[in-house]
Amino acid sequence: MAREHVIGRVGDLPEGHHRVVRAANRELGVFNIRGSFHALPNLCPHQRGPLCEGGVSGTIDYGPHTDWKLAWIWEGEVVTCPWHSLEFHIPTGQCVAFNDIRLRTYEVRVAEGELRVVI
């Protein structure tokens, strides 16, 4: 059965910032994207690097849907693994480069000024 784990106060994680926390014997990255909170495992599937210690930005997209022009997408929603630069879309856990790789995402709730992750 899933439980809520307090991981900090809302004011500890300003918009556009992230940090690594421990909850239920897991290390997670918690992100504040425009006031919406998201959590991912701090573990890159490539070589088990500390994914959520990487930088957050957007990414480049290209294809028929962009009229074959480079397009900057997902500003502030992509974390890049500091070891080998594999990128993941934070809200969905989807790997940007490989469609068949998706990380588990964890629900983050706000209650009484606290951030609580559901595990």
Entry pTM: 0.93
pLDDT at residue 60, as a whole number: 95
**Distances, alpha carbon 14 to alpha carbons 25, 34, 88, in Å:** 25, 9, 21
Q: What residue spans define the domains of the chain?
A: 4-118
Q: Which residues contact 99 (CB under 8 A, 6 or more apart)?
A: none
pLDDT in tens, the chain (119 residues): 889 999 999 999 999 999 999 999 999 999 999 999 999 999 999 999 999 999 999 999 999 999 999 999 999 999 999 999 999 999 999 999 999 999 999 999 999 999 999 99
Q: In angstroms, rounded to a whole number, what is the distance separating the alpha carbons of residues 29 and 7?
A: 11
Q: In angstroms, rounded to a whole number, what is the distance separating the alpha carbons of residues 67 and 8?
A: 44
Which single residue is written with the structure tokens 């918690």? 30
Which single residue is written with the structure tokens 């964890």? 106
pLDDT at residue 5, as a whole number: 97
Is the CATH number 2.102.10.10 carried by domain 4-118?
yes
pLDDT at residue 1, as a whole number: 82
Residue 27 CA to its chain's centroid (Å)? 12
Phi, psi of 74 (to 5 degrees): 55, 40
pLDDT at residue 16, as a whole number: 97
